[in-house]
Amino acid sequence: MRAQRILITGADGFLGRGLVAALARRGLSNNPPHGDTVVATDVRAVEPARRLAGITYRQLDVRDQGLGAVLAEHRIDTVVHLASIVTPGKGSTRELEYSVDVGGTRNVLTACLAHGVRHLIVSSSGAAYGYHADNPAWITEDHPLRGHEAFAYAHHKRLVEDMLAEARRHHPALAQTVLRIGTILGERVDNQITALFEKPRPIAIAGSDSPFVFIWDEDVVGALLHALDCEGPPGCYNLAGDGALTIHDIAARLGKRPRVFPAGLLRAALAVGRALGVSRYGPEQIDFLRYRPVLLNTALKERFGYAPKKTSAEAFDAFVAARRAQGRPL
């Protein structure tokens, strides 16, 4: 059944803003049966000037025990859980990130089960598979989720997925759609990955192609809407565009030459840089660069029924074109 009473966590984050805007464009109202209820929650208050017609805004930390009362108040049938810490800010700690990513998800899941929510849609990540030397060339949804304890985000996403899997076994009445998202690109995306492309010479590891799979931000929103409309069966799906680009492909598209380092040399340099306090990255970054999970999207297209409009290459080219149109460095 199509979602009618929707609550979104992390609604003022990057993905949340895109989804809320897409739902507002549908002409929703908060007066069923003439329209749907959409409750947008975030730890930050959304300024009145940025609020969209037809959307109910609530300032609510994803860890807040009052979440259940909000679900009950609005008789929510579907929760879209987007809240997580992707790029930690200054002063962030591993404990804080765990409390939001894992503790927050536990709070959402508990509230959904207690208040009869029918469908839980979760933004997970390809990072949940982890950065491992024995990752297959293309990863399907059947591959084990191993995370990587050196990276809080990857480790927490694995823990979250373990929690969700346990809930599916014991509470099958709560349908789950879990989207394992690849590297998101858009016209105004800035993150740890895009910072790699801004370097005069992108870093490459000798003997590793370091393939990337990309997904355009509008395609992520499209997949979320597809799930809200129940056009595909619940389940776990890799969300990425067709194909992949190696770091050498990326450098060529940028008109740059990669700087190739032997893994051992770069690992030693990163260790020294962290010890001296001149680099926030340590030797574990080598695994992140050369053992990236490359997501196969066959199940997304054939079982879930959603085909991203942009391939990985098209998403990257659109990202580069947008950056250059904005006069921003690449």
Q: Return phi, psi of residue 80, to 5°.
A: -105, 110
pLDDT, position 192: 84
Separation between Cα atoms, residue 261 and residue 269, nearest integer Å: 10
118 closest CA partner among 167, 169, 176: 176
Q: Return phi, psi of residue 133, to 5°.
A: -60, -30
pLDDT, position 29: 44
**Distant-in-sequence, close-in-space partners of 187: CB < 8 Å, separation ≥ 6:** 217, 318, 319, 322, 326
Burial of 285 (0-12, 13-18, 19+ CB in 10 A): buried
Evaluate whether 208 touches 289 at the Cβ level (below 8 Å): yes
Evaluate whether 320 touches 249 at the Cβ level (below 8 Å): no
Evaluate whether 107 touches 61 at the Cβ level (below 8 Å): no
* Tens-level pLDDT at each residue, the chain (330 residues): 899 999 999 999 999 999 999 999 986 544 444 457 999 999 999 999 999 999 999 999 999 999 999 999 999 999 999 999 988 888 899 999 999 999 999 999 999 999 999 999 999 999 999 999 999 999 999 999 999 999 999 999 999 999 999 999 999 999 999 999 999 999 999 888 898 899 999 989 998 888 999 999 999 999 999 999 988 999 999 999 999 999 999 999 999 999 999 988 988 888 887 787 777 778 788 898 899 999 999 999 999 999 999 999 999 999 999 999 998 878
pTM: 0.94
pLDDT, position 33: 45
* Furthest CA-CA distance within the chain: 64
